[in-house]
Amino acid sequence: MDIRPFIDSTYLKTASQAVLDENQNQLVVETFIREAIEERFKLIMIRPEMVAIAKKMITESESNLQIGTVIDFPQGQSSIEEKLREAIQAIADGADELDFVCNYEAFKNGNVDLVKEEILRGTQLALDNNKIIKWIIEVAALGDKQIIQLSALIKNVVMANFKESDYAAVFVKSSTGFYQTSNNEPNGATIPSVIMMIENASPLSVKAAGGVRTYEDAVEMIKLGVKRIGTSAAKAIVNGENNKNEY
């Protein structure tokens, strides 16, 4: 199976997280972008401040590589207005896809109306600009019941407010890859969490991010029904090599 159409090659570390200076970290990002162009991946997923750089490189290479970026990453607790401002800037810089971190803490605390509003307004902004949007729910921070409820909430907001033809542009995504778990528990996509997402987000698509470490893992996720996979070891996974990266 050719899994390239499902792969979002991902690098989301800040310089401090990578223990590099800013110039060194930018070089790493540029390496990821160049690799994604050469490997003909579907998309490169990078931080908002790197989008303009990616756009320039892709244009110069005459590549069809798409650019994805994250919004309110990784905590997801900024105001709706702050999220929208960040998204508008990312669109101006050339982003094709916007992965918003859902305010899952607000959801856990019972502030469902706030979550509904950010889903509605964020999705509206993306669709108005012909962009794909993915809502990151951070499965490692949620119990099974919460995964089910939040996936269903996103689906219900989209189905109540947008046309059926819009559904393909809206995803529910598992993880940021930066959530700190205890006892070395998984902080990314797992088979059980992905099954719950697929069952409760449909007809929206699901993106599995984090935890997909081998070609076999990727194929298993695709067979479950996942439409996109986020990984920082895209080339290794596609080529059947061992992935030593955390994400």
Catalytic residue among 83, 131, 155, 173: 173
Amino acid, res. 157: V
If you search the block for the tokens 């990078």, which residue do you land on? Answer: 46
The Cα–Cα gap between 105 and 152 comes to 16
Question: Among 157, 120, 115, 121, which Cα is nearest to 137's?
Answer: 115
Catalytic residue among 13, 99, 131, 155: 99
Q: What is the DSSP string of 126-163?
A: HHHTT-EEEEE--GGGS-HHHHHHHHHHHHHHHHHHS-
CA distance to 63, 73, 76, 127, 213, per residue, from 236 (Å): 21, 25, 30, 33, 9
Write the CB contacts of 42 (distance below 8 Å, at least 6 apart in sequence). 4, 5, 6, 7, 8, 65, 66, 228
CA distance to 88, 132, 134, per residue, from 97 (Å): 12, 5, 8
Catalytic residue among 13, 134, 155, 207: 207
Question: Among 215, 217, 155, which Cα is nearest to 186's?
Answer: 217
Q: Is 99 a catalytic residue?
A: yes
Q: Is 131 a catalytic residue?
A: no
Backbone phi, psi, residue 65, to 5°: -55, 130
Collapsing DSSP to helix, strand or coil, 38 comes out as helix
The Cα–Cα gap between 170 and 228 comes to 12
Q: Is 173 a catalytic residue?
A: yes
* Residues designated as active site: 99, 173, 207
